[in-house]
Amino acid sequence: MTTRYTKDHEWIRLDGDVATVGISEHAQSALGDIVYVELPEIGRQVEQGGEAAVVESVKAASDVYAPVSGQVVAVNEALDGSPATINEDAEGKGWFFRLKPSSPAQIDALMTAEQYKEYLATLE
């Protein structure tokens, strides 16, 4: 399973025909303590680059964009009661939603972990 990244600091990991989406370690670190998450509805169609979820921290509220187009098939219900999970494990247990990509080729066009690391270096 390869993880890919967007310039908006989302990650996506394809497992079979379902992809898991969350925010990167860098994003959670920049946001600080996360206090609330608004997740998309199951069954919702999301467009690549379109708003899919909202994350609120003590510092700010930020949109979470869909890395690829597709249909939301699951959301991380555990975040409702424990949004701090994102701070603890942003690229693992802190995932936001799962979707069935309508065009899996969109994933291949996203940054690899190495490319994302290089991209982050340009932001400093």
Biggest CA-to-CA distance, the chain? 38
In the three-class reduction of DSSP (H, G, I as helix; E, B as strand; rest coil), residue 59 is classed as: coil
- Bridge partners (DSSP) of residue 62 are 55
pLDDT reading at 90 higher than 90: yes
CA dist., res. 118 & res. 5, Å (int): 12
Total structural domains within the chain: 1
Range scoring the smallest mean pLDDT among 34-38, 46-50, 70-74, 101-105: 101-105
* Domain carrying residue 117: 3-123
pLDDT digits (tens, 9 = 90+) for 106-119: 999 999 999 999 99
Share of the chain above pLDDT 70, in %: 100
The answer to whether the beta carbons of residues 30 and 98 sit under 8 Å apart is no
pLDDT digits (tens, 9 = 90+) for 2-31: 899 999 999 999 999 999 999 999 999 999
Prediction pTM value: 0.96
What is the CATH number for 118?
Answer: 2.40.50.100
> Residues 87-115: what's their mean pLDDT?
96
